[in-house]
Amino acid sequence: MSKSKSDAAIIDHPESWVDHYGDFLYRFALSRVKDPAVAEDLVQETFLAALRARENFKGRSAGRTWLIAIMKHKIVDYIRKKIREPSTDKIETLTDMLDSDFNDHGKWQIRPLKWAINPGKIYEQKEFLDVLYHCLAELPQRLAEAFVLREMDGLSTAEVCKVLDITATNSWVMLYRARMSLRHCLENKWLGAEQ
Amino acid sequence: MHWMFSCKDVSQLVSESMDHGLPFYQRVLMRLHLLMCKYCSRCKEQFETIRAASCHDELNGKELDASRALSNDGKERLKKFLENHLADTD
């Protein structure tokens, strides 16, 4: 039996999810939220969302990858609730912040720093990943949704547009703002950048 | 957009090039600008780093602490929870 077939078989039997995926999901959640009780809650919420969406699992990805993608949304939701100040409607503030990056001639005013990080070894940079999740949670909700769908779930922009009911041009603008905002946030909160 | 792109234009084009193919002339002018501007190159590297960190395909579980696991009680709770919800949906 191939790996994806066996995955599809497991996803068809939710009663076996805890044994097959429980520890892996729990470890992933713990790597992001630190608190064991919260990590367990996140596993539960992930299973619940997966239960509701299991018709959509077509075996294109491994079951584990599918569940992790669901869990990433749950983690961002959890952090957003925890920081209690969701910047959901702060698009204007964000636009001002992005505009201040450039002068009237479109030249950098706040210059990007050099990041001391190797993208190939990104998973060794736990602190970077922690900050990235926090920065994501601080994004206006629609921008965070567009970003998570595109970059974490790996959807095409056409699929992102369908899910969020937006035009292609709109999706490119939203993704640009999300990336610029994450770049800013990471430079402010993560200590790996140098002049 | 002026034929000579500004840094603001290029930061937008770099982001857009990650989402869809750019027309030939935009691609060429963007690359020329990137060759000459270290801050736009940094911005591009940062976008790529953020993508690499977010991309689920790179997740292989190796970075996770294998010594941590759900407690037996936790597993039982989750199994019960799934059973209850399955009973509701069936």
Let me know if A71 is exposed, middle or buried by CB neighbors in 10 A (0-12, 13-18, 19+): buried
- pLDDT for A31-86, tens place per residue? 777 789 999 999 999 999 999 888 777 766 788 888 988 888 888 888 777 765 54
Predicted local confidence at residue B71, as pLDDT: 92
Predicted local confidence at residue B67, as pLDDT: 77
Whether residues A182 and B50 touch (CB distance < 8 A) is answered with: yes
Whether residues A38 and A129 share a domain: the answer is no
- Give A115's DSSP letter: E
Predicted local confidence at residue B58, as pLDDT: 44
Whether residues A18 and B83 touch (CB distance < 8 A) is answered with: no
Residues pairing with A114 in the sheet: A194
Whether residues A69 and A99 share a domain: the answer is no
Of the candidate ranges A1-10, A58-67, A168-177, B39-48, the one whose mean pLDDT is the lowest: A1-10
- pLDDT for A78-98, tens place per residue? 877 776 554 445 566 677 778
Predicted local confidence at residue A92, as pLDDT: 63
Nearest CA in chain A to B46: A183
Residue pair A183/B46 in contact (Cβ under 8 Å)? The answer is yes
- Tell me the pTM: 0.75
**Domain end point (choices A16, A50, A84):** A84
Averaged pLDDT of chain A = 82
Give residue for tokens 């799934």: B82
Predicted local confidence at residue B55, as pLDDT: 74
pLDDT at A1 over 50: no
Query: What CATH number is associated with residue A128?
Result: 1.10.10.10
Give mean pLDDT, residues B71-83: 93
Whether residues A48 and A110 share a domain: the answer is no
Contacts of B75 in chain A (CB under 8 A): 18-19, 22
Predicted local confidence at residue A194, as pLDDT: 60
Residue pair A11/A57 in contact (Cβ under 8 Å)? The answer is yes
Predicted local confidence at residue A84, as pLDDT: 58
Predicted local confidence at residue A141, as pLDDT: 79
Predicted local confidence at residue A137, as pLDDT: 81
- pLDDT for A124-142, tens place per residue? 777 888 888 888 888 887 8
CA dihedral (A89, B45, A148, A123) positive or negative: negative
Which residues touch A137 (CB under 8 Å, ≥6 apart)?
A76, A79, A80, A82, A83, A86, A144
Which residues touch A131 (CB under 8 Å, ≥6 apart)?
A185, A186, A189, A190
Task: Give me the number of domains chain A comprises.
Answer: 2
Whether residues B83 and A124 touch (CB distance < 8 A) is answered with: no
Residue in A68, A108, A119 closest to B49 by CB: A119
Whether residues A94 and A187 share a domain: the answer is yes
Predicted local confidence at residue A121, as pLDDT: 74
Whether residues B7 and A107 touch (CB distance < 8 A) is answered with: yes
Predicted local confidence at residue A90, as pLDDT: 59
Range of the domain at A95: 85-195
What is the percent of chain A with per-residue pLDDT over 70, rounded to a whole number? 87
**Domain end point (choices A84, A109, A128):** A84
**Domain end point (choices A84, A119, A149):** A84
Name the 3-class secondary structure at B20. Answer: coil
